[in-house]
């Protein structure tokens, strides 16, 4: 399996130990750093770097490490297509994959010890999504795309309504304006639906940075 591993300064040297263990098991690992614990950095930078590897298809899953694992999880989940989970017990590490299609395991290097962290990584990469859970696991992404399309449609109908209620001279002019307005509205609604379908199929990787700091 192709797996990406990333961690901020608080994740060193646990990230290196996880990389070594995954490679020992025969996995192809992409090392996204860092390896210098003396230089403070921002965990969201590593979260987006790992997320891009996954949503762009270069990695299948990822392990993301910071001090507590909480900040890494929050940052990673801001990227569409990422389903990151904080797991410090083996049950959650495999359950998250089997039932929730978790594709990023987040660990807190200041919370769990080396041996537990390695066992969590082994459990995570060994898990497989149960077939009947595949659709519900991605429902949130599709629902968000549907909301965007629906919002576009509502806006289009309001525009059409405003357009058709403007004062015009004569019955014929009003009818022509009304017909034209509803044609414009229908086109905009279709455009909104198309945009929603496209966004559901394509997983953009945009991270909204809200803060910086150590976690």
99 catalytic? Reply is yes
Q: Measure Cα distances from 84 to 8, 107, 156, 165 in Å.
A: 16, 10, 35, 49
Each as own residue / partner, the long-range contacts of residues 28-35 (CB below 8 Å, 24 or more positions apart, any chain) are 28/1, 28/2, 28/3, 29/3, 29/4, 29/5, 30/2, 30/3, 30/4, 30/5, 30/58, 30/59, 31/5, 32/4, 32/5, 32/6, 33/6, 33/7, 34/7, 34/8, 34/9
How many Cβ atoms are within 10 Å of 34's Cβ, its own excluded? 19
Catalytic residue among 9, 59, 66, 106: 66
* Contact assessment for residue 112 and residue 106, using Cβ atoms and an 8 Å cutoff: no
More confident of the two residues 4 and 181: 4
The pLDDT of residue 183: 74
Res. 136: pLDDT tops 60:
no
Q: Which of 57-61, 140-144, 188-192 has the lowest mean pLDDT?
A: 140-144
The pLDDT of residue 175: 64
Res. 27: pLDDT tops 90:
yes
Mean pLDDT of 54-66: 97
Q: Alpha-carbon distance 41 to 26, whole Å?
A: 30
59 catalytic? Reply is no
Residues 6+ away with beta carbon under 8 Å from 58: 2, 4, 30
The pLDDT of residue 104: 98
Catalytic residue among 27, 88, 99, 205: 99
Determine the 3-state secondary structure of 166 from DSSP.
coil
The pLDDT of residue 8: 96
């Amino acid at each position: 399996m192709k797996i990406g591993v990333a961690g901020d300064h608080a994740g060193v040297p646990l990230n290196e130990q996880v990389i070594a263990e995954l490679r020992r098991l025969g996995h192809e690992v992409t090392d996204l750093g860092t390896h210098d614990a003396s230089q403070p950095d921002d965990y969201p930078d590593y979260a987006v770097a790992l997320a891009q590897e996954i949503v762009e298809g270069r990695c299948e899953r990822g392990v993301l490490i910071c001090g507590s694992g909480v900040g890494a999880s929050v940052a990673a989940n801001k990227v569409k297509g990422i389903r990151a989970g904080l797991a410090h017990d083996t049950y959650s590490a495999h359950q998250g994959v089997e039932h929730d299609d978790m594709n990023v395991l987040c660990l807190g290097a200041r919370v769990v010890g080396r041996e537990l962290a390695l066992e969590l990584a082994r459990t995570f990469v060994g898990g497989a999504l149960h077939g009947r859970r595949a659709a519900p696991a991605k429902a949130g992404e599709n629902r968000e795309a549907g909301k965007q399309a629906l919002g576009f449609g509502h806006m289009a109908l309001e525009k059409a309504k405003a357009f058709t209620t403007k004062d015009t001279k004569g019955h014929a002019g009003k009818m022509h304006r009304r017909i034209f307005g509803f044609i414009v509205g229908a086109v905009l609604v279709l455009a909104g639906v198309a945009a929603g379908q496209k966004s559901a199929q394509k997983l953009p990787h945009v991270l909204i940075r809200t803060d910086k700091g150590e976690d």
